[in-house]
Amino acid sequence: MRDGAPQTIYRKDYQVPDFLVDDVHLSFDIHPGQTRVKSRLQLRRQGAADAALKLDGIGLELESLAIDGEPLTDDAFQVVDEQLIVFKVPDTFELSVEVVIQPEANTSLEGLYKSRTMYCTQCEAEGFRKITYFPDRPDVLAVYTVEVIADQQQCPVLLSNGNLLETKTLADGRHRAVWHDPYPKPSYLFALVAGDLALVEDSYTTVSGREVALRIWVEEKDRHYCDHAMASLKHSMRWDEEVYGLEYDLDLFNIVAVDDFNMGAMENKSLNIFNTSCVLAAPDITTDMGYQRVEAIVAHEYFHNYSGNRVTCRDWFQLSLKEGFTVFRDAEFSADMNSRGVKRVEDVTFLRTHQFAEDAGPMAHPVRPDSFIEISNFYTLTVYEKGAEVVRMLHTLLGADAFHQGATLYFSRHDGQAATCDDFVTAMEDASGRDLTQFRRWYEQAGTPRITVSGKYDSEQQRYSLSIHQENPDSAGQTNKPPLLIPIAVGLIVDGQPLPLSEDNSTQVLELTEREQTFTFDNVPAEPVPSLLRGFSAPVRVMNEPGETELLTLMRGDDDDFVRWDSAQTLLAQLIESEAASIDEDLLDACRAVLNSPDMDAAMKAHTLRLPSEDYLADRAALKGLVDVHRIHHARNRVKAMLAAALAPEWKAAFDDNVVNGPYQPKGAQIGQRALRHLALDYLCSGDAEAVSLASKLYFDADNLTDRLSGARLVVNLGTQAERETLLAHFHDQWSSQNLVMNQWLSLQATRPAEDCVEAVRVLREHPVFDWRNPNKLRSLIGAFAAGNTIAFHRADGAGYALLAETVAHIQADNPQIAARMLSPLTRWRRYAQGQKLMRNELERIANLDNLSRDVFEVVSRSLAEV
């Protein structure tokens, strides 16, 4: 165990900073092995007259320290732990600090580090303190001027935030650039890049006619893979003008692609830094899903320019203020760019499968957490995805017009400030005139609310009444939670048709505020089937599922995309859970109707008829008791084989009819056709071993990664060992020069559902393609194995758990953020019968490591804590 338990930080302890920084001058002198960072900070006292100056700093070699030009004597300051304390300082002064750091030795990928050939930074959340001493908290906003000096040959490109003020050639083959960002910003938005980068340039004219230079910087070999990101950026800029009235505020916007990156991308002011996997795109290196991800992430980071940068967070407990809102914004953007119904179904699937599980496990926390040990552990599905659902509920409750007035008020009222989640809700209240006191509980209460519904029809009165009960289950540190305000969008299906509930609207939004409440509908001509939670209007579980007859009615006759899809998925889940020996003819007919529907697009057909994932089934099972993942796996496969056989001619037709003609395009119609064709092939292969040859043909004939991977996955999972090995060798030889494709090659093998996959992954960890220091490689091999391979990960002898634990132990000191994240499949040990001992043992082994990082300490200790 580590020495001295790390400190917990509480939201209730928030205090305004004692000192503010108005202006920052930074100078970086980059030399291999040693980078000198000089800073000049203009500080101003805000707190008590006798308060000492305390600055954050980690791993810095302090060279000099002066106040208003006077060097400080040794007794005037102290360097403790992760702080620099200067005992007595004036009320306003200039602090000069000089430190030396070693980016080359920085494996945490936080602060200034080296990724392959380039120097880059990652400062969110608390990485700036690894660069220099500073009040590294988001409520200290300063104007930055940054000088970068480096070798001209090694680092011809020198970038930082804002505008380029000057460049100069220096002696000894060195050069210098000075950048100035006029917008005050917190330190977490600072960025610097120095390296040998190729430029892809375009421009954008804003709504008011200003021209903005758009620059994407990548390694020379990747210069041809930037078109999609560039187009996505321009679409995002237009969309934010049209939908939120927000125009870009500088003359330059940069994106830099780096290969070693802990997350997807980072919204540093005017200098976004991206994981290569989230920006580069081409048909041979990117799947259809990958294209959509690039579009969404480019948009997400761009939208942060307002929701995050112009208005930032007061403290890290408010993280969802920027992340939840920005995820909502990027989801609406993607819905407008592509298919709204499909986007919603994809997001809900993700939320219900992964966020619900998080909210039911040991890491459960409110959208606005009350405490943390390490903030990096709180970049969670709850803060991002549930946070976005909370914003979406405001949109639903207030209506689009009032919501947008609220957003506009929020942006203007808090421009240039560090705000709170409460400020956001207050702006929504002020714009709409509504009291949102009860709604605020969504930010406070962890756990997924459960609702139970019962309907009663009075044929004499032609009245239907719907009683809804809500329950908010206890979670760590929270019991007896009061009821939430839950918007429940409903429709009524009468005789198979949606009943108009108002002028040309078949949906009504009920506002559930009590624990138990009854809503009545008049003029209902016959007993309806209620269509609940349309569009997934709230992140809740509906506990009492309708029966098969009702679900079939909804699947066939509902006019809400989400409910139609959800009813089909529930029917399929119930079928798997029942372990029935045959499939009802009615359900088969309904599936045929989906396949033959002239109105439903192919992507939606594929989503509707794909079996619920093992993870989703596990989440459902966890409500009833311990989860038996092997049983789920086999029951699901049996239903797949039954559906494959029963609908064999239909799958064959879907496979044959959905051949895409013409060149590859990552666009709606084609994406849908490929998704449906691949699903059909998946069924064909599980019904008939011969069909694997079709998969092999799909792989070998493919002119794009989506087809190639779909074919490959089926051959790897279902083919003979010889077929598998031939294909994998071919794949490797053809794409070994493409790093991102090799990540897929690793995942393909890591997710093969067979027990001996544990040993295969062990071997792959030693393969030259793998790299212990690269987060994408760790995620593609070990992350994919632990999260996407139930059979091997949950092997009865515990070898899968050991493999994960051992990998985490190996990397945890070098890259604590990634280690803590990768640990998450083990933290759910309480859900599984075999988890009680084997998974727990591995967690305890990690808890007992020497020099355990703060990140991993927090995750293991929360997960092992008694409930």
Q: Which range, of 121-129, 150-158, 388-396, 532-540, touches ligand TRP by CB under 6 A?
A: 121-129
Per CB under 6 A, contacts with ligand TRP among 382-441 are none
Tokens 């809804």 correspond to what residue? 468
What's the min distance (Å) between Cβ of 311 and Zn ion?
14
CA distances from 749 to 106, 728, 780 (A): 30, 9, 10
The reply to whether 558 sits near ligand TRP by the rule CB under 6 A is no
Window contacting ligand TRP (CB under 6 A); options: 119-127, 437-445, 488-496, 696-704: 119-127
Q: How far is the CB of 185 from ligand TRP (least distance, A)?
A: 13
86 contact, one of Zn ion, ligand TRP, none, CB 5-8 Å limit per kind: none
Is residue 201 annotated as part of the catalytic site, yes or no?
no
Q: Which stretch binds Zn ion (CB under 5 A): 251-259, 320-328, 461-469, 507-515?
A: 320-328
Cβ closer to Zn ion: 305 or 704? 305
Q: Which residue in the set 262, 339, 420, 749 belongs to the binding site for ligand TRP (CB under 6 A)?
A: 262
Q: Smaller CB distance to ligand TRP: residue 300 or 752?
A: 300
Query: CA nearest 516: which of 452, 440, 439, 446?
Result: 452
Q: With beta carbons less than 8 A apart as the criterion, state whether 650 and 592 touch.
A: yes
379 forms part of the interface with ligand TRP (CB under 6 A): yes
Give the shortest CB-385-to-Zn ion separation in angstroms.
12
Identify the bridge partners of residue 174 per DSSP, sorted by sequence position.
151
376 lines the binding site for ligand TRP (CB under 6 A): yes
What residues numbered 286-305 form the site for ligand TRP, per CB under 6 A? 300-301, 304
Based on the shown chain and the rule CB under 6 A, indicate whether residue 267 belongs to the binding site for ligand TRP.
yes
Q: Please state, in angstroms and rounded to a whole number, the distance separating the CA atoms of residues 292 and 667.
A: 9
- Closest distance of CB 312 from ligand TRP, Å: 11
The Cα–Cα gap between 673 and 690 comes to 23
Partner in contact with 77, chosen from Zn ion, ligand TRP, none, beta carbon below 5 to 8 Å by kind: none
Q: In the complex with ligand TRP, which residue's Cβ is closer, 266 or 787? A: 266
Q: CB count, 10 Å around CB of 91?
A: 10
Nearest to 266 by CA among 214, 180, 189: 189
Tell me which amino acid residue 781 is. Answer: L
Of the candidate spans 150-158, 244-252, 324-332, 843-851, the one that interacts with Zn ion by CB under 5 A turns out to be 324-332
> Which of residues 127 and 184 has its CB atom nearest to ligand TRP in the complex?
127
* C-alpha span between 229 and 37 (Å, rounded): 33
Cβ proximity to Zn ion: between 174 and 300 the closer is 300
Q: How far is the CB of 386 from Zn ion (least distance, A)?
A: 14
Is the CB of 236 or the CB of 744 nearer to Zn ion?
A: 236
- Least distance CB 38 / Zn ion (angstroms): 31
> What are the Cα distances from residue 15, in Å, to 18, 58, 134, 350, 721?
9, 22, 17, 36, 62
Q: Which of 39, 106, 115, 122 binds ligand TRP (CB under 6 A)?
A: 122
Smallest separation (angstroms) from Zn ion to the CB of 443: 18
Q: To the nearest whole angstrom, how small is the minimum distance from the Cβ of residue 501 to Zn ion?
A: 37
Do 520 and 463 touch, CB atoms closer than 8 A? Answer: yes
Q: Measure Cα distances from 611 to 546, 587, 590, 636, 671 in Å.
A: 19, 13, 15, 8, 19
Whether cis (ω within 30° of 0) applies to the bond prior to 593 is no
Under the binding rule (CB under 6 A), the answer on residue 147 touching ligand TRP is no
| Phi, psi of 773, rounded to the nearest 5 degrees | -90, -10
Residue 770 one-letter amino acid: F
Can you tell me the distance from the alpha carbon of 367 to that of 361, in angstroms, rounded to the nearest whole number?
15
| Angstrom distances, CA of residue 183 to CA of 23, 254, 736 | 11, 16, 43
Task: Copy the structure tokens of residue 39.
Answer: 């800073």
CB of 381 to ligand TRP, least distance (A): 12
Number of residues this chain uses to bind ligand TRP (CB under 6 A): 14
Task: Look up residue 502 and give its two tokens.
Answer: 């108002």
Q: Which is nearer to ligand TRP, 306 or 379 (CB)?
A: 379
CA angle at residue 818 from 332 to 255, to 5 degrees?
A: 50
Task: Give the nearest distance from C-beta 440 to ligand TRP in angstroms.
Answer: 24
333: closest CA among 321, 347, 312, 349?
Answer: 347
From Zn ion, ligand TRP, none, interface partner of 266 (C-beta below 5 to 8 A by class): ligand TRP
> Which among 117-125, 174-182, 646-654, 673-681 is the span making contact with ligand TRP, rule CB under 6 A?
117-125
Of the two residues 330 and 558, which places its CB atom closer to ligand TRP in the complex? Answer: 330
**What's the Rg (C-alpha) of the chain?**
28
Selecting among 301, 385, 650, 858, the annotated active-site residue is 301
| C-beta of residue 793 within 8 angstroms of C-beta of residue 800 | yes
What CA–CA distance (Å, rounded) separates 524 from 502? 12
End-to-end CA distance of the chain: 21
Nearer Cβ to Zn ion (236/326): 326
Shortest reach from residue 111's CB to ligand TRP, in Å: 11
The rounded distance, in Å, linking the Cα atoms of 263 and 273 is 10
| Residue 263 is a binding residue for ligand TRP (CB under 6 A) | yes
- Residue 377 is a binding residue for ligand TRP (CB under 6 A): no
Q: Which does 288 bind (CB under 5 to 8 A by kind): ligand TRP, Zn ion, none?
A: none
353 to 412, contacts with Zn ion by CB under 5 A? none
Binding flag, residue 124, ligand TRP (CB under 6 A): yes
Residues 299-338 that bind ligand TRP (CB under 6 A): 300-301, 304, 323
Amino acid at position 805, single letter: A
Q: What share of the chain is helix, strand, coil (3-state, %, to 5)?
A: 45, 20, 35
Task: Give me the half-sphere count of Cα atoms (radius 13 Å) on the Cβ side of residue 674.
Answer: 24
CB distance 326 to 385 below 8 Å: no
Rounded-to-integer distance, Cα 671 and Cα 650, Å: 20
Q: How many residues bind Zn ion (CB under 5 A)?
A: 2
Give the residue closest to ligand TRP by C-beta.
Answer: 263
The piece of 275-283, 326-334, 502-510, 639-647 that touches Zn ion (CB under 5 A) is: 326-334
Candidates 120-128, 465-473, 602-610, 732-740: pick the segment binding ligand TRP (CB under 6 A): 120-128
Looking at the Cβ atoms of 258 and 705, the one nearer to ligand TRP is 258
Binding at 124: pick from Zn ion, ligand TRP, none (beta carbon under 5-8 Å per type)? ligand TRP
Residue 44 and residue 20 in contact, taking contact as beta carbons nearer than 8 Å:
yes
Closest CA to 499 of 470, 530, 472: 530
Q: Report the distance separating Cα 144 and Cα 162, nearest Å.
A: 9
SS3 458: strand
125 binds ligand TRP (CB under 6 A): yes
Choose the one of ligand TRP, Zn ion, none that binds residue 856, judging by a C-beta under 5 to 8 angstroms depending on kind: none
**Least distance CB 786 / ligand TRP (angstroms):** 21
> Of Zn ion, ligand TRP, none, which one does residue 212 interact with (CB within 5 to 8 Å by kind)?
none
Q: Which two tokens stand for residue 129?
A: 């303190």
> Rounded CA gap, 97 and 133, in Å?
8
Q: Which amino acid is at 628?
A: D
Alpha-carbon gap, residue 817 to 157, rounded angstroms: 29
Say how many CA atoms lie within 13 Å of 415 toward its Cβ: 8
Minimum CB separation of residue 167 from ligand TRP in Å reads: 28
Give the three-class secondary structure for 241: helix
Residue closer to Zn ion (CB basis): 312 or 790 = 312
Residue (301 or 389) nearer to ligand TRP, CB: 301
Candidate ranges 264-272, 707-715, 744-752, 808-816; the one touching ligand TRP (CB under 6 A): 264-272
Chain contacts with ligand TRP (rule: CB under 6 A): 122, 124-125, 262-263, 265-267, 300-301, 304, 323, 376, 379
Active-site residue numbers?
Answer: 301
The site for Zn ion (CB under 5 A) is made up of 323, 326
